[in-house]
């Protein structure tokens, strides 16, 4: 049983190493997509973490303002980074990653303000 577990662990580790090296030198558009997706998923996780921490610091009005601002940001991101035509639905992951990273930084800055000078609800949108 331990030999199987060790073999599976090594196989997963090797797969991870191959995936990371593939991102260093992608061979085709699908490699690019895979790597960019990994970056986007991390940016999205960072955004959700920052949002969750910030919302805990806010009063009811601040939470409402943050939610309104977040919904407006989502709409803007979707408009700027995705489209649909007769061939299908498309998402520009580079655009989505950039916008998500910028929004996460914005939320972290608001969290920093909350912890140092107090939350300013007017800045949450």
Domains of the chain: 27-123 (1.20.1270)
Instruction: Report the candidate in 48, 52, 49 with the shortest Cα–Cα distance to residue 63.
Output: 52
**DSSP 8-state class, residue 101:** H
The two structure tokens encoding residue 1: 């049983």
Q: What is the pLDDT of residue 13?
A: 40
> Got the DSSP string for 49-67?
HHHHHHHTT--HHHHHHHH
Q: Tell me what pLDDT residue 28 has.
A: 87
Predicted confidence at residue 66, as pLDDT, reads 97
Q: Mean pLDDT of successive 10-residue segments in the chain (125 residues)?
A: 41 43 79 89 97 96 96 97 94 95 97 93 87
């Amino acid at each position: 049983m331990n030999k199987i577990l060790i073999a599976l662990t090594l196989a997963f580790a090797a797969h991870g190493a191959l995936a990371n090296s593939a991102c260093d030198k992608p061979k085709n558009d699908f490699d690019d997509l895979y790597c960019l997706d990994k970056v986007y998923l991390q940016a999205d996780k960072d955004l959700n973490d920052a949002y969750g921490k910030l919302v805990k610091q806010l009063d009811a009005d601040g939470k409402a303002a943050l939610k309104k601002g977040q919904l407006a940001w989502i709409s803007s991101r979707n408009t700027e980074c995705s489209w649909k035509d007769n061939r299908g639905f498309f998402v520009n992951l580079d655009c989505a990653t950039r916008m998500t990273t910028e929004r996460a930084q914005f939320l972290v800055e608001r969290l920093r303000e909350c912890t140092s000078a107090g939350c300013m609800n007017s800045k949450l949108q």
